[in-house]
Amino acid sequence: MAAAVTSCLNSVFACFESAFSCWDSQKRARQGLYEPLLAENEREAVADLLHYLESQPAGPSFFQGDQLRAVSTLAYSDNVDLKRSAALAFAEVTEKDVPLLTRTALEPLLYLLQSNDSEVQRASAAALGNLAVEPHNKLLIVEVGALDPLVRLMQSSNVEVQCNAVGCITNLATHESTRHLISHSAALAPLVRLARSRDLRVSRNAAGALLNMTHSESHRAELVRAGAVPVMVALLGSSDSEVVYYVVTGLSNLAVDAANRPRLAAEPRLVPHLVTLLSSPSPKLSVQSTLALRNLASDPSFQPLIVSRGALSPLLKQLRGAVTRGDAAAVSAGVALVRNLSIHADNEGEIVSGGFLPVLVELVGWGLPPQEPGAPGGGAGAAATALQEEIACHALSTLRNLAGSHAEEISKAGAVDKIAQVVAGVGGRAAGVSVVAEGAACVAVIGLNETTKSLIFSTPLPLTLLALTSPMFPPQLQLNAASALGNLASGTGSATAGHALWFARNWDGVREYLARFVEGDDAVGWHVAGWTVGQLLVGGDPDVAKLVGVSELPEMFATLVERVEEAVRAVKEERARNGGEGDDQVDLEEVEEIGELARGVVERVKAWRDAAGSTATATGSSNGQSQQGSSAR
């Protein structure tokens, strides 16, 4: 292009009356189409610019001093060839270097942008697009008023002009401040229209601009209102992988917002297109389609739809492939989608029968860094990356969702042993707090099944959970571990008697965290403690009942009953004063349930004490009679 600029300027300088085209670098025949002479200042500007281009590399100096004055003279000239030369010079220089500009340096380019000549429009829009890759310049370009002329150029009948104008908007839309101004300009409608252009370059640029506009929630809403959704869905079927990538990523971003999902649900081809893309040979397309489906699956209405459209089989294949090649980003996307799909009860059976359990169990510890065996929740080894921990958490969360109805299948897949290893840090893998907390929550659900409960008690996992109730760990981790122990305490029968023995043997540690929870101010802790002690008493083991009965726990629960009753009374009085309204953060039913649990503990302990006292009295009387009879003889 440098040769084209020099050729144009030489043509002007050598023969002012000749006509030429700067952009095509071809001299036209001397047809006398232009005025034969240039003004003196224009001749000087041409000479100065020629000297600069022939002797100096492109750089910031072009936008200051004599060079800026020279190109400005050409830009403001009435001679269209000089305007073309100026626009082309801007385009040439900015392809090689993008300096931080001043308003003064941008003004001649903005003037050229408003020309009626398509060649000037084309080159000046290209130059502005080049400059718009620099964040400082993006803001300045918008501040000097370039958006309106760019919007007009997007509506040009010249495809080349459209392409460069849209490309400039695409670059401008990478900055939050400029996105805001673009969304409130008239740019969105032509962007949506040009995304369907038959010219691939225009379509790509427009699709890229739409993608950039989806990076902010408010702008996503504006795009939806501008009619972008059906256009973007239609482009999912494009033969160009770049266009497809832009729109699938943009749709994924739109799906983040719950407010946009009803509009997305109105597109019947959206989910089938995305499911098809799961099998794309392009990893970036398959991953982006997975992310889009993941975001859609945050909505309950999409969860069964995605499964019914056949997503599970290609998803499992994609997930296995990502695990094999060690692609953590793809693994994270895939397991997050499975997790969201597993939320819906209708999908559980198909996920289990579809073969996902082995890979989910593998992902519980996948990618976590090696460590020496150590304390629960990790040791001295290298820390896992956030992405690796995210993968483990998604896998555990999925298993937890499935465990309510499929605990035995999950256990047979090796989940209990894997969770025990990762949570305890004895499997050679260092898990962070979030992974350990999610693991404990998973055990809490698996532990409700009597068969898997026995398996859990055959591992060191209960002792690990007990250690995790220590106040040295974060509160949520303590609560999750205690909840798991509470569910392990539930049930009746011969198997439960064996489980009760574990609680009896480890009573000091169990009593310590239960007492701490009851005395605390956390309602969840109250609930966990009440549930756990209640289940231990319901189990009917006399040794456990005695341990509870002679401890300080019954009196602490009696105090808790009073605290709960006072809290319930205060909430009801407040709501009565406010016409039924009160603190929305107080769940009255939950608080009352805690009161019932605590009251149940108090009543059962009282019944046990009464029975124990009655037995002691009867035994004492019998002994007295025996001793008395012996003396008489």
Q: Where are the domains of the chain?
A: 1-131, 155-267, 517-618
Distance CA 27, CA 32 (A): 13
Quick check: helix, strand or coil at residue 268? coil
> Which neighbouring-strand residues pair with 26?
21
Please, are residues 216 and 176 in contact by the beta-carbon 8 Å criterion?
yes
Alpha helices (H) along 279-311: 283-296, 302-308
Please, are residues 258 and 296 in contact by the beta-carbon 8 Å criterion?
no
Q: How many CB atoms lie within 10 A of CB 520?
A: 13
Residues of the chain with pLDDT under 50: 12-36, 372-383, 426-429, 616-633
Q: How many CB atoms lie within 10 A of CB 152?
A: 16
Please, are residues 565 and 547 in contact by the beta-carbon 8 Å criterion?
no
Quick check: helix, strand or coil at residue 326? coil
Please, are residues 379 and 389 in contact by the beta-carbon 8 Å criterion?
no
Which token pair is 452? 């898997």
Q: How far is CA 524 from the centre of its chain?
A: 27
Please, are residues 533 and 557 in contact by the beta-carbon 8 Å criterion?
yes
Fold of domain 155-267: Leucine-rich Repeat Variant (1.25.10)
Distance CA 379, CA 383 (A): 9
Distance CA 332, CA 340 (A): 12
pLDDT at 44: 77
Tell me phi and psi for residue 99, to 5 degrees: -85, 165
Please, are residues 376 and 321 in contact by the beta-carbon 8 Å criterion?
no
Nearest one of 282, 273, 191, 209 to 241, comparing CA atoms: 282
Nearest one of 483, 491, 494, 471 to 526, comparing CA atoms: 483
Q: What is the pTM of this model?
A: 0.83
pLDDT at 390: 93
Element (H, E) at 27: strand 26-27
> Which neighbouring-strand residues pair with 418?
none
pLDDT at 23: 34
pLDDT at 413: 96
Map 174-211 to HEC letters. CCHHHHHHHHCCCCHHHHHHHCCCCCHHHHHHHHHHHH
Distance CA 76, CA 407 (A): 77
pLDDT at 58: 52
